[in-house]
């Protein structure tokens, strides 16, 4: 499991005070601090109620610095969203590739997603709940991010017997991914980020059943 309660490197903070670091590094770091500041502010007040003043206070930078990096709150949010999703995507891809057979790859991928979201409640809220609240600003990115999980599941069709392939429909993978994301989002929305990892067996069984049948899916879901 991932170690808990640490932001990904991009979102880490520069210690306050005078540091004598090269200018380019400072600029880069300010950028990341603003993104982390936004994530904290949004976790506290929700996207709609977050102001630029909230972001700069959490990031401990000036308003002017904010505008040197972003034109608006929306732009800062989109950047934060992209950063978090990039992290999440990498973790999932890495976990998926760490296993040789497909069902266990899926299980590892789901476990990585739940682990990341559980260890970063603010970021989990940002990318799974506030992204929807923010609406038009990121909604296309959100939809695309969910769709990007579909190919992992479609892989499961390879080498399946005819009767299994026959019963899968064109939308099977979309419905599986949508259902899983919906369940995870509901738990985050309800503030139950701590419970996320407990969902692993349920989600694995749900995801594998169409391909392997319920008995085999349940068996793999319950393996430790």
Partner 1 sequence: MRPPPGRQQLPREFIARHQRQRIITALAEEAVEKGYRAVTVADIVRRAGIARNTFYENFSSKEDCFLAAQQYAVDESLRRVVEAASSVESWPDRVRAGLASFLRSVATEPALARACFVEALSAGPEAMAGYEESLQAFVPLFRIGRKVSSQGNELPETLEETIVGGIFWIIYQRVVAGETAEIERLLPELIEFSLTPYVGPKAARRTASEPSP
Residues of this chain that bind partner 1 (CB under 8 A): 46, 48, 132-136, 139, 143, 146, 167, 169-172, 174-183, 186, 189, 199, 201-203, 205-206, 209-210, 213-214, 218, 221
40-60 as b/e, with b when 16 or more CB fall inside 10 Å?
bbbbeeebeebebebbbebbe
Q: How far apart are CB 206 and partner 1 at their closest, in Å?
A: 5
In the complex with partner 1, the residue whose CB is nearer, 60 or 132, is: 132
In the complex with partner 1, the residue whose CB is nearer, 26 or 168, is: 168
Q: How far apart are CB 25 and partner 1 at their closest, in Å?
A: 37
Other residues' Cβ atoms within 10 Å of the Cβ of residue 188: 22
In the complex with partner 1, the residue whose CB is nearer, 102 or 206, is: 206
Task: State residue 159 phi and psi, 5-degree precision.
Answer: 75, 10
In the complex with partner 1, the residue whose CB is nearer, 29 or 209, is: 209
Closest to 221 measured CA to CA, from 101, 71, 119, 103: 103
Q: How far apart are CB 27 and partner 1 at their closest, in Å?
A: 32
Q: Token pair for residue 172?
A: 């099977």
**CA separation for the pair 80, 9 (Å, rounded):** 13
Q: How far apart are CB 158 and partner 1 at their closest, in Å?
A: 19
């Amino acid at each position: 499991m991932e170690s808990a309660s640490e932001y990904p490197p991009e979102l880490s903070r520069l210690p306050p005070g005078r540091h004598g670091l090269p200018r380019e590094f400072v600029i880069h770091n300010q950028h990341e601090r603003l993104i982390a500041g936004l994530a904290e502010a949004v976790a506290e007040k929700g996207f709609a109620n977050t102001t630029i003043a909230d972001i700069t206070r959490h990031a401990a930078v000036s308003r002017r610095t904010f505008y040197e990096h972003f034109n608006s709150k929306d732009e800062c949010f989109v950047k934060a969203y992209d950063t978090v999703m990039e992290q999440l995507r990498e973790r999932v891809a890495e976990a998926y590739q760490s296993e040789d057979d497909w069902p266990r790859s899926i299980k590892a991928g789901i476990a990585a997603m739940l682990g990341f979201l559980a260890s970063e409640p603010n970021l989990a809220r940002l990318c799974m709940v506030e992204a929807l609240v923010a609406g038009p600003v990121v909604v296309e990115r959100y939809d695309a991010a969910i769709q990007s999980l579909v190919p992992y599941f479609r892989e499961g069709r390879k080498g399946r017997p005819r009767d299994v392939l026959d019963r899968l429909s064109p939308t099977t993978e979309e419905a599986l991914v949508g259902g899983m994301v919906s369940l995870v989002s509901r738990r985050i929305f309800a503030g139950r980020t701590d419970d996320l990892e407990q969902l692993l067996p349920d989600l694995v069984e749900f995801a594998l059943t169409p391909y392997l049948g319920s008995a085999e899916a349940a068996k793999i879901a319950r393996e430790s």
